[in-house]
Chains A and B, each alone.
Chain A
Amino acid sequence: DAGVIQSPRHEVTEMGQEVTLRCKPISGHNSLFWYRQTMMRGLELLIYFNNNVPIDDSGMPEDRFSAKMPNASFSTLKIQPSEPRDSAVYFCASSSRQREVVDTQYFGPGTRLTVL
């Protein structure tokens, strides 16, 4: 079974450009998470979807960030306009959650974003 797939693996862009990161969760998983990892701030949860619905977006830094999950097999994280301080590794993770049972999160390989 394929794991969580993220694309692109690396993205280099200039300040002010729009950036779109993509994620395909594991088939059958109904929860999806976007994280950002930096040396300074560690691992931060940006947004959490359950059954394609955003449940908690309190971690989204500002209006420049937006995330969508149009169906169970695809999600995007968009930054518009991008800024150098957005440079980080962005991870997507998915899990299968049934009722109140907590399950393991499976992480993708990440997208390393560099904004010049």
Chain B
Amino acid sequence: GNSVTQMEGPVTLSEEAFLTINCTYTATGYPSLFWYVQYPGEGLQLLLKATKADDKGSNKGFEATYRKETTSFHLEKGSVQVSDSAVYFCALSQGSGGYQKVTFGTGTKLQVIP
């Protein structure tokens, strides 16, 4: 079946540092890939997505590129802020036989210190 593996946290960075959170996936065919973010006390919300190979999703300074050859979708940001402190979830979604199946990673907690 499908699976998503993301780096374990917590990740602690100083403000303005460069961020990378690794995500790799296992799936047949061509899934869509997502990064969701969960701020404390809230539900998950979409950060960015990519629906086909070589697509780059971007939002709020975050970027991730759909790499089919390495089955990866790593999240990056050039300069993190304290307000980016949250839990980040990588996910894939694949429709088959009338069923949209979404698989989430375990989440990576990011803490940015001033």
For A107, what are the chain B residues with a Cβ–Cβ distance below 8 Å?
36, 43-45
Between-chain CB contacts (< 8 Å), 6 pairs: A42-B107, A43-B89, A43-B106, A97-B100, A101-B95, A104-B34
The answer to whether A33 and B102 have CB atoms under 8 Å apart is: yes
B63 to chain A, nearest CB (A): 17
For A42, what are the chain B residues with a Cβ–Cβ distance below 8 Å? 104, 106-107
Interface size class of B (residues with CB under 8 A): 20 to 34
Q: Counting CB contacts under 8 A, is A62 at the interface?
A: no
Q: Is the C-beta of B5 less than 8 angstroms from some C-beta in chain A?
A: no
- Chain B positions 100 through 113: 1 when the CB is less than 8 Å from some CB of chain A, otherwise 0: 11101011000000
Q: How many A residues touch the partner, as a band?
A: 20 to 34
Interchain CA distance A46-B78 in the complex, whole Å: 36
**A45 closest partner in B (C-beta):** B102
Nearest to B96 among chain A residues (CB) is: A100
In the complex, which residues of chain A have a beta carbon less than 8 angstroms from the beta carbon of B36?
Answer: 107
A93 to B36, CA, bound (A): 13
CB distance A105 to B102 under 8 Å? yes
B17 CB, min distance to chain A CBs, angstroms: 26
Task: Give 15 A-B pairs besides A105-B102, A106-B45 with Cβ atoms closer than 8 angstroms.
Answer: A4-B43, A33-B102, A42-B106, A42-B107, A55-B98, A56-B99, A56-B101, A97-B95, A101-B95, A102-B32, A104-B34, A107-B43, A107-B44, A109-B42, A110-B43
A-side interface mostly: strand
The 6 A-B pairs of least Cβ separation, nearest first, read: A107-B43, A100-B95, A102-B93, A107-B44, A102-B32, A42-B106
Bound together, the chains give a CA A109 to CA B101 distance in angstroms of: 22
1/0 per residue, CB under 8 A from B, across A88-116: the answer is 00010101010011101111111000000
A31 adjacent to chain B (CB < 8 Å): yes
Residues of A within 8 A of B34 (CB): 104
> CA separation between A95 and B95, bound complex, in Å?
13
